[in-house]
Amino acid sequence: MIGQYRPGHSLLHRMPAGAKLSLLIASIVAATVLVRSPLQTGIAGVVVVGLFAVAGIPVRVALAQLRPTVWMLLVIAVFQVLATSPARAVVVCGVLLISVALAAVVTLTTRVTDMLDAVTSGLGPLRRIRVDPERIGLLLALAIRCVPLLAGIVHDVAQARRARGLQWSMTALATPVLVRALRTADAMGDALAARGVDDH
């Protein structure tokens, strides 16, 4: 799951958390804006594979970061093929997969506490306009952890749907996913409130 730090001494491990987060955001934006063909998607994918190699992340660990997104990407791919074209489906799903992989590289080589410290420090000047950097840092940490969580929900629901012989029913997929996602969000909100996150 994204967010499980793996100790190491690679260049990526030694890079400051703030720099990695900045490069992560810039890379995702660049991929979203510039990648427009399956060939460009493949090139970007090779670059990401190179980053995993530089970080010394084992293949099985790298694949484990991406496996939970498979079902979600399949659903998106079907919609893209029906609405646009197979080439566009490859680009859209490829960019999403690359974005998840880039986030995985950052979180595998960076302690969550370091990331939160970097965000809090970087947003410190915004305190003057009543913005709470600590809350934004917490939001970032939750977002990073919720990507694989949502993908896992989609995977579990898809498996249950297949067992009931409803593999072609989008309603049988979308409705349970929405319900479980909302329940998970409520549970996370309750847990945060119980720890005083919402106190002022």
Q: How many domains does the chain have?
A: 1
Is 163 a domain residue? yes
pLDDT tens for 82-93 read 999 999 999 999
Is 129 a domain residue? yes
Is 101 a domain residue? yes
Is 5 a domain residue? no
Q: Is the pLDDT of residue 199 over 70?
A: no
pTM higher than 0.85? no
Confidence of residue 127 (pLDDT cuts 50, 70, 90): confident
Is 3 a domain residue? no
Q: By residue range, what is the domain housing residue 30?
A: 11-194
Is 200 a domain residue? no
pLDDT at 95: 95
pLDDT tens for 30-83 read 999 999 999 999 999 999 999 999 999 999 988 888 887 888 898 899 999 999
Q: Is the pLDDT of residue 193 over 80?
A: no
Is 199 a domain residue? no
pLDDT at 178: 83
Mean pLDDT score of the chain: 84
pLDDT at 1: 44
- Write the DSSP assignment of the chain as a string of letters: -TT------SHHHHS-HHHHHHHHHHHHHHHHHH--SHHHHHHHHHHHHHHHHHTT--HHHHHHHHGGGHHHHHHHHHHHHHHS-HHHHHHHHHHHHHHHHHHHHHHHHS-HHHHHHHHHHHTGGGGGGT--HHHHHHHHHHHHHHHHHHHHHHHHHHHHHHHTT-TT-SHHHHHHHHHHHHHHHHHHHHHHHHTTTT--
